[in-house]
Structure formats: C-alpha cells, structure tokens
Amino acid sequence: MNDITNQDPLHGVTLKALLTELVEFYGWEELGELINIKCFTNDPSISSSLKFLRKTPWARTKVEALYIASLE
C-alpha cells in the first residue's frame, strides 16, 4: 500500500493549540508587535483572540503564516 504523508504543517493542529504555542514562544507583547491586531495588544487572552481569529480570515491567515514560519 502506498504511504502518503500530509505535507500541510497545519494538518491536525487546532487554532487554540496553534495560538497557545505562539503565545508561549513569543509572548503577547512580541506577538502584538509581529501581528498588530487589537486582540494581541489590548488586554489579550486566548479566548478573546480565538473569537476574533475565527471571525476574521485575514488575521487568521497572518497567525497561521507566523506559526508555519516559527516551525522552521
């Protein structure tokens, strides 16, 4: 049988896990500097950021791109 591996680094990673890893790696302050969105700079929390990112595709795309870059 042919073993096919998924090349997508986001495959199987939830938005919450992705965001939690970024916050642990960069911290809220640096994350807010790298991606200037209010949910990272003004009283940030995982839950408020998740709500915003789920409703805002352009912001989610930026966060996912930063996550992929941080894997390298």
In a domain, 38, yes or no: yes
Per-residue pLDDT at 72: 81
| pTM, entire model | 0.86
Q: Is residue 5 part of a domain?
A: no
Whether 27 is in a domain gets the answer yes
**Residue 37 lies inside a defined structural domain of this protein:** yes
Q: Is the pLDDT of residue 1 over 50?
A: no
Closest CA to 28 of 19, 59, 8: 19
Q: Does residue 58 sit within a domain? A: yes
Q: So what's the pLDDT on residue 29?
A: 95
- Token pair, residue 47, equals 């839950």
- The dihedral over CA atoms of 21, 24, 28, 31, expressed in degrees to the nearest 10, equals -50
Q: Give me the number of domains the chain comprises.
A: 1
Q: What is the CATH number of the domain that holds 51?
A: 1.10.720.30
Q: Which domain holds residue 64?
A: 15-71
Task: Assess if residue 41 is contained within a domain.
Answer: yes
Among 43, 34, 41, smallest CA distance to 67 is for: 34
- Residue 39: burial class (beta carbons within 10 Å; 0-12, 13-18, 19+): buried
